[in-house]
Each structure stands twice: as structure tokens, then as C-alpha cells.
């Protein structure tokens, strides 16, 4: 479910945080579901367990997961996470639209591109 893109300039722990935030917000990981152990995920991804621990710490700080001493980490039962993620993505989209406008890309080109992406998504 989680993979690391070594070509991406984003730090590994941030990639893990972002992937799990998406999995949780989209409902792939359900509330109260147990997260992979730090050790198992580190072995699976072939990375240092401290990196996983740092990512889990950030997910916990943001309210996506919680820790139970001696039992592991679990997905939080926070209904607002999906809305929070949507708000975050829409804010990023606003920035990209502004950047596109500043680069001289006409609105019609942007909307046509979004429509083509929508049609591609409907075919999946």
C-alpha cells in the first residue's frame, strides 16, 4: 500500500505521512484499524525504523492515528479528517490555478484539461 519514490525530492518520512493520510482520508484504512508495526513496515520498505517512527509521530500529531502502549498504532476515528484533507487539496489546487494564470495558461485550457482527467478517472 505504501511505496517510496527515491526520485522524489520529498523526504522519505513525509512521503510515508502523505501516503497514509491519503489512505486514511479515502477510507482505505478504516477507523480503529491497526497500522503496520514500525519494525514490519521498515523491513517492508527497506528503510530505517526511525524514519517510520518519525512518520507515525507526525501522523499522530496531526490526528490521523493514535498509539496504544504495547499494542501499536491505530487509525483515529476522526470524521473531520476527510474534510481536512479535501480542504488541504483544494488550497493546493487554488495555488496551482493562480500559478497557471500567472504563467498565461488560459482558463479554457485548464478546464479542458480537468475534463479530460475526469473522463480518464471515470474509465477506471
d(CA 57, CA 49): 12
Question: Rounded to two decimals, what is the model's pTM?
Answer: 0.70
What pLDDT, on a 0 to 100 scale, did the predictor assign at position 17?
A: 95
What pLDDT, on a 0 to 100 scale, did the predictor assign at position 124?
A: 56
Low-confidence ranges of the chain (pLDDT < 70): 123-124
What pLDDT, on a 0 to 100 scale, did the predictor assign at position 6?
A: 87
What pLDDT, on a 0 to 100 scale, did the predictor assign at position 71?
A: 94
Amino acid at each position: 500500500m505504501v511505496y517510496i519514490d527515491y526520485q522524489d525530492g520529498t523526504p522519505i518520512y513525509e512521503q510515508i505521512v502523505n501516503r497514509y493520510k491519503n489512505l486514511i482520508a479515502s477510507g482505505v484504512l478504516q477507523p480503529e484499524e491497526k497500522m503496520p508495526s514500525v519494525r514490519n513496515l521498515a523491513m517492508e520498505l527497506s528503510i530505517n525504523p526511525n524514519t517510520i517512527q518519525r512518520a507515525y509521530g507526525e501522523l499522530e500529531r496531526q490526528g490521523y492515528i493514535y498509539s496504544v502502549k504495547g499494542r501499536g498504532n491505530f487509525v483515529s476515528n476522526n470524521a473531520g479528517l476527510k474534510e481536512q484533507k479535501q480542504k488541504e487539496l483544494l488550497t493546493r489546487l487554488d495555488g496551482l490555478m493562480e500559478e497557471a494564470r500567472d504563467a498565461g495558461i488560459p482558463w479554457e485550457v485548464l478546464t479542458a484539461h480537468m475534463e479530460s482527467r475526469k473522463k480518464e478517472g471515470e474509465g477506471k
